[in-house]
C-alpha cells in the first residue's frame, strides 16, 4: 500500500482512484485515469460534490487535459520505474507552460534520491510504494541536495556555476 507524503509528512490519502469500469463515486474526491476522464469528461466537470483529479501514465501527454486544468484539483503523474523520468518533464510543463496551481502528485516507484528533484520540478505530493524510501522519509532523513546545476521552481542561489564545476573536476 503506497504512503502519501505532503510537505515531507505522511498523511492520509483522501482521494479515491477510479480505474477501468469502476463506477465514479458521488461525494468523494476522485482521481480518474485518462481513459476514464475522456469517457466521462462532461459528467466529471459538472460535479459539485467532490474534486476531480486525473492520473497520467508516462506515455499520456499533458496536452490531453491542458484545456481542462482550471477545473482539475489534482494531476497525478506515474513513475512506473525509478529509471523512467518522463513525469519530471510533465510536472514542469504543468507548472511552467500551463500555469497549473493544483496539486501535482507523483506516484509509483519513487526512490529517496528523486524526492528533492521532484520538489524542484513542482510536485506537491508523493504517493510512494518503495518501502525503503517510505522508511527514510518517516525517519525524517533529509533527501534534499544543497547544490544544483540547473534552475528550478523557486530557485535561489543554490546553483553551481560552470567554473565551479570545472574547478571540482580538475
DSSP assignments along 7-55, one per residue: TTEEE----EEE-TTPPPPTTS-EEEEHHHHHHHHHHHHT--SS-EEEE
* 106: pLDDT strictly greater than 60: yes
Nearest 10 degrees: Cα torsion 40, 43, 48, 51: 10
Here the cell at position 152 is 528550478
* Phi, psi dihedral angles at 156 (to 5 degrees): -125, -130
Q: Which pTM does this prediction carry?
A: 0.81
Residue 166 pLDDT:
34
Residue 78 pLDDT:
96
pLDDT in tens, 40-85: 999 999 988 889 999 999 999 999 999 999 999 999 999 988 778 8
Q: How many CA atoms lie within 13 A of 31 on its CB side?
A: 20
Q: How many CA atoms lie within 13 A of 7 on its CB side?
A: 2
Residue 4 pLDDT:
96
* DSSP symbol at 105: E
* 2: pLDDT strictly greater than 60: yes
Q: b/e map of 124-147 (b: 16 or more CB within 10 Å)?
A: bbbbbebeebbebbeeeeebeeee
* 157: pLDDT strictly greater than 60: no
Look at 20 and 38; give whichever has higher pLDDT: 38
Amino acid at each position: 500500500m503506497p504512503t502519501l507524503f505532503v510537505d515531507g509528512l505522511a498523511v492520509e490519502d483522501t482521494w479515491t482512484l477510479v480505474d477501468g469500469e469502476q463506477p465514479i463515486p458521488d461525494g468523494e474526491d476522485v482521481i480518474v485515469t485518462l481513459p476514464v476522464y475522456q469517457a466521462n469528461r462532461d459528467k466529471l466537470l459538472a460535479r459539485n460534490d467532490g474534486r476531480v483529479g486525473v492520473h497520467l501514465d508516462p506515455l499520456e501527454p499533458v496536452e490531453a487535459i491542458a484545456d481542462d486544468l482550471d477545473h482539475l484539483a489534482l494531476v497525478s503523474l506515474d513513475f512506473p520505474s525509478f529509471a523512467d523520468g518522463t513525469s519530471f518533464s510533465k510536472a514542469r510543463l504543468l507548472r511552467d507552460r500551463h500555469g497549473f496551481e493544483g496539486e501535482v502528485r507523483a506516484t509509483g516507484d519513487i526512490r529517496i534520491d528523486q524526492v528533492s528533484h521532484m520538489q524542484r520540478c513542482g510536485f506537491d505530493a508523493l504517493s510512494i510504494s518503495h518501502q525503503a524510501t517510505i522508511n527514510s522519509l518517516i525517519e525524517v532523513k533529509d533527501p534534499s541536495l544543497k547544490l544544483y546545476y540547473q534552475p528550478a521552481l523557486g530557485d535561489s542561489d543554490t546553483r553551481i556555476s560552470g567554473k565551479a564545476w570545472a574547478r571540482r573536476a580538475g
